[in-house]
Structure 1
Amino acid sequence: MSLPAQGSPVWGRLANGGLSRLQTSHLGTQMLMKRLELSPAPASAKATEIYNYFVKWERSLANEVAQLNRL
């Protein structure tokens, strides 16, 4: 399964609280989720950061990528 395009609404949903519904055992992803949850950054900046993270770690995040279209 491939990542949704950067302009996909899924990234905005993740940035606006959807990360809490993502089930992961990947420590780096858990740390990103917690940091973004506490961040005062605008949702658009968070969405870009989440997208860039998934692009970089896509091979290690097959389980998480599979969940993206359901969030």
Structure 2
Amino acid sequence: MDGSIWALVTIGGPILFGLVLIYVMMSNRRHRSPEEMARTEEATRELHRQLDAEDKYLDGEAPPPRNPPLKK
């Protein structure tokens, strides 16, 4: 009996995990509109601009960024 439970966990666990992962990925793609994608892309670009400005400031190559530098 103990071996069959272990086999179920070893075989069934990854299968269940894979099914849940596929479901979540498909659900996430289905609910994203073009406006949400554009908003996400713009927020990512802005974050990259802020991080670049912070890096230049910390390297002494530019004036302070609009937001104070993050602590490392």
Q: Would you call these one fold, judging by a TM-score over 0.5?
A: no
With normalisation by structure 2, the TM-score equals: 0.27
With normalisation by structure 1, the TM-score equals: 0.27
Bigger relative CO (Cα 8 Å, ≥ 6 apart): 1
- Say which one has the larger Rg: 2
